[in-house]
Homo-oligomer: A and B are copies of this chain.
Amino acid sequence: MAKHKRSRKTGLPPGSLIHVGIKHTDIPIISLLDYNKTRLTEKTVTLVEECYPYKNQPTVTWINVDGVHDAETIEKMGKHFGFHPLLLEDIMNTEQRPKVDDFDEFIFIIVKMLNYPIKGGELAIEQVSFILGKNFVISLQEEAKWDVFNSVRERLRKGKGKIRNLGPDYLAYSLLDAVVDNYFSVLEKIAEEVEDLEEEVIGNPGPATIQNIHQLKQKLIHLRKSVWPLREVIGSLERSESKLIKKSTELYLRDVYDHAVQIIDNVETYMEMLAGITDIYLSSLSNKMNEVMKVLTIIGTIFIPLTFIVGVYGMNFDYMPELNWEYGYFVTMGIMLVISVIMLYYFRRKKWI
């Protein structure tokens, strides 16, 4: 997988179709779902030209493109559907910030789709673009392996819910809703990781703990970077006066908006909890140091004076009266015992042992 840097674009005229990001697949895969109340056609398309007829059909068409690195495909499609070059450029630059642009004839939406398959693993962020037209929705993803739209596909195929009765704006909402819903499952995994870290930091903190905290914080920073603008996107869709979005759909968008706000709330809460966990970790370091120091101090404070005393009676002066005293040895040992006991008592009173 080749990573194309943003700097490839430096100096090119606006609307230059240059891919920025990781190239996941070789050939873009285009799948097509065309439906109305009564019937549904589904096919995978090899040539972009096969999508052309669906531009003006009365049925609702959902064209899903997996792979946005191929300038030719994007350009052809853009020319046929009449998309602005800047829009096409944004599709291919996968480091865009989530945003919504209203080009009277269609609405262009960029959001981030998260993939977080295993707890503690890497958080993959994939850019998804939507173009909502009068009777079609085009969605463009970076790669084919994985997306969050299967449930929408199922509902379309089975005619479950009212999705088949409603227009492309409801389809676009359903896709956005699927993206946002997926944020919740990512958040649930992260919530568990926060709890694990909390236990780790209280029970058994080690030098790696701070790195775990850091990695989790990193994930939250990236999540937040995706979800804050997402909220704006959905909010301005809801308030939009575009004729492409029906009144009845606005209520649903309001619902997704509430979810986005809830996700932001949770992200901020986890951020604050991580800050608290960091505090506990740092103070546990200090506590540990205190404990180590206490042991050293207790041992040192008891034995250093005793060692001095035995050193005294190890001196070789010719005249040291104690040495000749019969009970000298035993009395000295006794005195040292008394000193130790006094010291231990002192430490206990100081609550060091």
**Residues on A facing B (Cβ under 8 Å):** 5-7, 9-15, 84, 86, 89-90, 95-97, 99, 101, 148, 150-152, 154-155, 160-163, 174, 177-178, 181-182, 184-185, 188, 202, 207, 210-211, 213-214, 217-218, 221-222, 225, 251-252, 254-255, 258, 261-262, 265, 269, 272-273, 276-290, 292-297, 299-301, 303-308, 310-320, 322-329, 332-333, 352
Q: How far in angstroms is the closest Cβ of chain B from A302?
A: 9
Residue ID in chain B nearest A352 by CB atoms: B292
Given known A7-B184, A310-B308, A313-B317, contact A284–B207 (CB-CB < 8 A): yes
A11 touches B174 (CB 8 A): no
Copies in the complex: 5
Q: Is B313 in contact with A313, judged by CB distance below 8 angstroms?
A: no
Closest to A293 in B: B292
Contact residue among B280, B304, B322 (Cβ-Cβ distance under 8 Å from A214): B280
The answer to whether A181 touches B10 (Cβ under 8 A) is: yes
Q: Which of these, B161, B174, B282, B304, contacts A307 with CB under 8 Å? A: B304
What is the CA–CA distance of A188 and B317 in the complex, to the nearest angstrom? 71
How far does the Cβ of A157 sit from chain B's closest Cβ, in whole Å?
A: 13
Tell me the complex Cα distance, A299–B282, Å. Answer: 26
Instruction: Report whether A296 and B300 are in contact in the complex, using a CB–CB cutoff of 8 Å.
Output: yes
For the A-B complex with A7-B185, A97-B261, A317-B325 known, give 19 more contacts whose Cβ atoms are closer than 8 Å.
A5-B188, A6-B185, A10-B182, A11-B148, A15-B161, A84-B251, A101-B254, A207-B287, A218-B276, A289-B289, A292-B297, A293-B293, A296-B296, A303-B304, A313-B315, A313-B316, A314-B314, A319-B327, A319-B328
| B residues in contact with A213, CB < 8 Å | 279
Listed by A's residue number, 13 A-B pairs whose Cβ atoms lie within 8 Å are A11-B150, A13-B162, A96-B262, A97-B262, A210-B280, A218-B273, A222-B269, A282-B283, A286-B286, A286-B289, A289-B293, A293-B296, A300-B304
How far does the Cβ of A238 sit from chain B's closest Cβ, in whole Å?
13
Distance in angstroms from A80 CB to nearest chain B CB is 20
